Amino acid sequence: VLQNLSQTPVLRELLKEAKMPGTTVKIESPELSMEPQLIKLDQPGPLTLAVYQFLTEMQETKKGVVTPKELFAQVCKKAIRFKGYQQQDSHELLHYLLNGMRAEE
């Protein structure tokens, strides 16, 4: 899931802009009939910052190994079911990541 998210340029760019409080982001629809939307963002929450930091580290690292410690800690705070290193479905992680970031808006 995280490797796929790291290969989503629109998400990475949006998170890059969102990490600065008070930023206004322009979201354009691929449909020509929709007007572009301007959204003013508040200070991002800890989960959003951890996702940004991790995805950036995945893209920029030269060492080859990236440890998602901070991201894992933030996910566990939002969804305790991930604590304890038990096996979880990847779609559940994606669900909790996206919902957790959305709740921080």
What is the spatial distance between Cα 68 and Cα 93, in angstroms, rounded to a whole number?
A: 13
Q: Indicate the average pLDDT of the chain.
A: 82
* Structure confidence at residue 31 (pLDDT): 66
Q: How far is CA 92 from the centre of its chain?
A: 15
State the pTM of this model: 0.75
Residue 91 has pLDDT above 70, yes or no: yes
Closest CA to 19 of 99, 96, 79, 104: 104
Summarize pLDDT for 10-58 with one digit per residue, the tens: 888 888 877 776 777 777 766 666 777 777 777 788 998 999 999 988 8
Q: How far is CA 84 from the centre of its chain?
A: 22
